[in-house]
Chains A and B, each alone.
Chain A
């Protein structure tokens, strides 16, 4: 019988690099170049609209401008306010609802899947129908308020309320994310630990704070960090819901960057602001990555 000849054409090493190559090239081309160009442009006075005007090197002036600009600081303050409020509300709601979902009832899985859906929807569409529902005169929200005897609220026209309008919409969309992760965290806790606590006479609250919460903390922290990062860079929901308004009351840093770059076309300045945003996100992300790595090490130990 003739020996079957199956040529081993590629070594594992060759296969490995062959598999990695396209991804790497694409990422280098689509990430590294824009990144370098962002850094480069951030040192120039330059506008894509006036390409004929030569770019002028101005050092760190673009950065200095934003860091000393009151208006920009107010954008940061608003962004921070939004992030802290929205994320903490979603966190408590999410953990709470996931906890309630530990109760078994008919149709639990179906309903659980259903309430997770909002986070998968397009932020543009979410912004769209919340804008519709927040309408002062004929919106559903004010109608519901009137049912319980509350006066109509100018949700999108009053700066205080517009902050809350964005928080409500963001909470509607992203609480499911915390619910999903908290649920995963809770179901990862071995049943025997609860049984031990039952036998040891722990009450519901004692169990929650001494068993459930600390044991699900690693995953909950992941949820919190991801939500911080995502809500900090949130842009499209604002774009659709408030357009940054009224005036510039709900204009986040991302939004200001968008306007600087694509409404005023101050490319150089926008690049500098982009860099500032990037640095903050990279900072947050590296906390996240470091945390993940330390978790991985703990697990393998």
Chain B
């Protein structure tokens, strides 16, 4: 039977349950946003205030540090943000570049131990970060990479390269081989065909992969919490440092949380069509 638009009882119940879930899913984010705009008094009032006079004091506290003697300085959060953008950004670009190359190779060529290679690549996504971190900690200290942006970029390539390879392989699989074969038959080189024919066709795929990798790098905490201390500190580490302290300026922390979330929300919106692929290493949701 066709979907009728009449509001039957069954339909009403279904929509009601969905509505409840939407509220559950969205309320914490709305609450966080509201908190970032509250004064200290409003924050801790009970019952909680849903209507209040918004203030940007949390955001101000986040960006400007006021010292005891009354001097005001731009807070270190600016440097932290710069670190996060640079490290996540560079790590993402490199991971996507390498993943695009290896994904293409995996999609088009047969090579020795291909299955093992792909499994090996996939394993980077399964690894418990904390377990490897023990060794990384030592290795990075010896190599002088600890608390360097370069070291962190290297790490974030590692975090994302498996994902990038698998998703990109999925996108390349969706591009018909004839495309390159025609070019090869006509005397063009494989590299030319890759650059001029295949890459333009997976532009959307590359964009989506970039989105995913950036989100994961931007959110990454476990590695960053140990490898970075000051110079290369990223936003999640900075926020977590605030967590332990009691009597904390929650509005400021909430503001930092919002700051961290905004780029994710934007990227999430842009890559929404590819979510399935991104969350399952391209195992599901392939677009043929």
| A–B contact at 8 Å CB threshold (below) | yes
Task: List residues of A whose CB falls within 8 A of some B CB.
Answer: 4, 6-10, 12-13, 15-20, 22-24, 26-27, 30-31, 33-35, 37-38, 41, 48, 97, 100-101, 103-105, 111, 113-133, 137-138, 140, 143, 146, 172, 176-177, 180-181, 184, 198, 219, 222, 226, 229, 232-233, 235-236, 239-240, 243, 254, 257-258, 261-262, 267, 270-271, 273-275, 277-278, 281-282, 284-285, 288-289, 292
Does the CB pair B276–A23 fall under 8 Å? no
B187 — which chain A residues lie within 8 A by C-beta? 4, 6, 8
Question: Does the CB pair A132–B250 fall under 8 Å?
Answer: yes
Contacts of B52 in A (CB 8 A): none
Bound-state Cα–Cα, A48 to B222, Å: 19
- Asked if residues B189 and A6 are in contact (CB atoms below 8 Å), the reply is yes
Out of A10, A219, A239, A261, which one reaches B190, CB within 8 Å?
A: A10
A48 CB to closest chain B CB, in angstroms? 6
Main SS at interface, chain B: helix
Q: Which residue of A lies closest to B284 (CB)?
A: A184
A233 to chain B, nearest CB (A): 4
The reply to whether B284 and A22 form a contact with Cβ atoms under 8 Å apart is no
Report which residue of A15, A113, A130 has the largest number of chain B beta carbons within 10 angstroms of its beta carbon.
A15
What's the least CB distance linking B127 to chain A, in Å?
7
| Residues on A with beta carbons closer than 8 Å to the beta carbon of B260 | 122, 124-125
Would you mind naming 6 contact pairs between A and B with Cβ atoms under 8 Å apart? A6-B192, A12-B108, A19-B102, A20-B117, A100-B14, A124-B219
Contact partner of B124 among A27, A104, A143, CB < 8 A? A27
Q: When chains A and B are docked, how far (Å) is the Cα of A289 from the Cα of B123?
A: 10
Q: Given B124, B129, B244, which contacts A243 in the complex, CB threshold below 8 Å?
A: B244
Which single residue of chain B is at the shortest CB-CB distance from A236?
Answer: B221
A20, A48, A284: which contacts B138 (Cβ < 8 A)?
Answer: A48
- In-complex Cβ contact of A34 among B123, B132, B222 (8 A): B132
**B268 close to A22 (CB less than 8 A):** no
Name the prevailing secondary structure of the A interface residues. helix
A281's contact among B48, B127, B218, B254, by CB below 8 Å, is which? B127
Bound: A131/B242 CA distance, A: 12
Q: How far is the CA of A116 from the CA of B46 in the complex (A)?
A: 31
CA distance A232 to B126 in the complex (A): 11
- Chain A residues lying within 8 Å of B120, measured Cβ to Cβ, are 27, 31
Q: B136 to chain A: which residues have CB within 8 Å?
A: 34
How far is A22 from B127 in the complex, measured between Cα atoms in Å? 20
A219 to B286, CA, bound (A): 13
Which chain A residue shows the least CB distance to B25?
A: A115
* Contact, CB under 8 Å: B101 / A10: no
Min CB gap A92→B, angstroms:
13
Query: Given A34, A235, A257, A289, which contacts B139 in the complex, CB threshold below 8 Å?
Result: A34
- The answer on a CB contact under 8 Å between A133 and B239 is no
Q: A20-B101, A120-B264, A262-B226 are in contact. Are A172 and B131 (CB under 8 A)?
A: no
A180 near B279 with CB under 8 A, answer: yes
A-B pairs with beta carbons under 8 A, tally: 278
- Known A-B contacts A20-B111, A222-B283; A257 and B130 likewise in contact (beta carbons under 8 Å): yes
In contact, A138 and B48 (Cβ under 8 angstroms) = yes
* Whole-angstrom CA separation of A264 from B132 in the bound complex: 17
| Distance to closest chain A CB from B197 (angstroms) | 14
Quick one: given A37-B139, A289-B119, are A118 and B250 in contact (CB under 8 Å)? no
- Residue from B11, B98, B135, B279 within 8 A of A271 (CB atoms): B135
Instruction: Give CA–CA (A127, B221) in the complex, Å.
Output: 12
Min CB distance A33 to B, Å, is 7
Alpha-carbon distance A12/B188, docked complex (angstroms): 12
Please judge, given known A-B contacts A121-B261, A226-B280, whether A267 and B138 are in contact too, CB under 8 Å.
Answer: yes
- Chain B positions within 8 Å of A261 at CB level: 130, 133-134, 137
Query: Would you give the shortest CB distance from B66 to chain A, in whole angstroms?
Result: 23
Give every chain A residue within 8 A of B265 (Cβ-Cβ): 117
Is B165 part of the binding interface, using a Cβ–Cβ cutoff of 8 Å?
yes
Chain B residues contacting A125 (CB-CB under 8 Å) are 32, 236, 239, 257, 260-261
CB pair B18 A275 closer than 8 Å: no
Residues of chain B in range 154-180 having any CB-CB distance to chain A below 8 Å: 154-155, 157-158, 161, 165
- Measured between beta carbons, the chain B residues less than 8 angstroms from A285 are 123, 126
Interchain CB contact under 8 A, B236 and A122: yes
Q: Is the CB of B161 within 8 A of A26?
A: yes
Given contacts A6-B192, A27-B161, A128-B253, are A233 and B137 in contact (CB under 8 A)?
Answer: no
With A and B bound together, what is the CA distance between A170 and B193 in angstroms?
46
Known: A22-B98, A104-B3, A122-B261. A133 touches B31 (CB 8 A): yes
- Most chain B CB neighbours (cut-off 10 Å) among A27, A131, A240: A27
Across-interface contacts of B80 in A (CB, < 8 A):
none
| Candidate in A13, A122, A229, A267 with the most chain B CB atoms within 10 angstroms | A122
From known contacts A226-B280, A240-B240, infer whether A97 and B189 are also in contact, taking CB-CB under 8 Å: no
Residues of B within 8 A of A143 (CB): 46-48
B61 on the interface (CB 8 Å rule)? no
Residues on B with C-beta less than 8 A from A278 are: 127-128, 131
- Known contacts A19-B105, A23-B102; is A254 also within 8 Å of B25 by CB? no
* CB–CB B28/A130 < 8 A: yes
Cβ contacts under 8 Å, A22 to chain B = 98, 101-102
| Contact between chains at A23 and B98 (CB < 8 Å) | yes
Residue among B31, B221, B267 facing the most chain A CB atoms (10 A cut-off) = B221
Q: How far is the CB of B171 from chain A (nearest CB, A)?
A: 15
